[in-house]
């Protein structure tokens, strides 16, 4: 069984046989998988009225537990995506009544972000469909394979941490 990444590796081996192109087998596939998975997650989000990037903010606040509130810096650190565009995203979520901003009483310069009741209802509504979608996306692997892949990906991520 071969995929497009195998073709890329073959091309490098032909063009530069003195180089070891084998890392492309992992990095190239992980990179492509990340894009493919995002493409397949977005339709579920859209079906529930979420714009791109909103799910992670709402889910991060929801999983922190009541009162579903975090400082902006903690929210950004806890999200499963990067911080790029966070302010713009928060502006749109606030405009749509899904989050509220308030001053942080413990930090004059800080801001707290909190789920509104509307935001809580929305994220609670989308989460079962989102998890089922993710379950479908990894369904090509057995339970044992999923656990092995999870362990290996965790190990790789931790090895890259500072």
Domain annotation covers residue 7:
no
Is 11 domain-assigned? no
- In the chain, where do the E strands start and end? 69-71, 99-104, 107-115
pLDDT at 83: 63
Mean pLDDT score, 5-24: 97
Per-residue model confidence as pLDDT tens digits over 130-148? 999 999 999 999 999 999 9
Residues β-bridged to residue 100: 114
Task: With respect to residue 1, please indicate whether it lies within any of the assigned structural domains.
Answer: no
Is 95 part of a structural domain of the chain?
yes
> Tokens representing 111?
């801001």
CB 71 within 8 A of CB 110: yes
Full residue range of the structural domain in which residue 100 is found: 34-160
- 22 or 76: which leads in pLDDT: 22
Evaluate whether residue 68 is within a structural domain.
yes
Q: Can you give the pLDDT at residue 112? A: 94
119 part of a folded domain: yes
Per-residue pLDDT at 5: 96
Distance CA 14, CA 32 (A): 22
* Residue 108 confidence (pLDDT): 85
Higher pLDDT, 7 or 84: 7
Hey, which residues does 85 pair with through a beta bridge?
Answer: none
Q: Is the Cβ–Cβ distance between 75 and 61 less than 8 Å?
A: yes
pLDDT average, residue stretch 62-89: 84
Tell me whether residue 49 is in a domain: yes
Per the domain annotation, does 25 fall within a domain?
A: no
Q: What is the pLDDT of residues 97-118, one digit of tens each?
A: 999 999 988 888 889 999 999 9
Name the pTM for this structure: 0.85
The pLDDT assigned to 107 comes to: 86
Number of domains composing the chain:
1
CATH of the domain at 61: 1.10.10.10
Distance from C-alpha of 83 to C-alpha of 85, rounded to nearest angstrom: 6
The token duo for 109 is 């310069």
């Amino acid at each position: 069984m071969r995929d497009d990444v195998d073709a890329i590796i073959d091309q490098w081996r032909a063009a530069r046989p003195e180089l070891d192109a084998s890392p492309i087998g992992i990095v190239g596939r992980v990179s492509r998988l990340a894009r493919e998975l995002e493409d397949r997650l977005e339709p579920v989000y859209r079906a529930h009225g979420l714009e791109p990037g909103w799910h992670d903010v709402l889910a991060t606040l929801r999983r922190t537990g009541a009162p579903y509130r975090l400082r902006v810096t903690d929210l950004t650190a806890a999200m499963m995506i990067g911080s790029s565009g966070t302010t713009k995203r928060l502006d749109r979520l606030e405009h749509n009544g899904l989050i509220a901003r308030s001053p942080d009483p413990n930090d004059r310069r800080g801001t707290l972000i909190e789920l509104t009741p509307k935001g809580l209802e929305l994220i609670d509504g989308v989460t079962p469909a989102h998890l089922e979608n993710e379950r479908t996306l990894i369904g090509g692997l057995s339970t044992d394979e999923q656990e092995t892949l999870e362990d290996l990906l965790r190990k790789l991520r931790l090895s890259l941490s500072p």
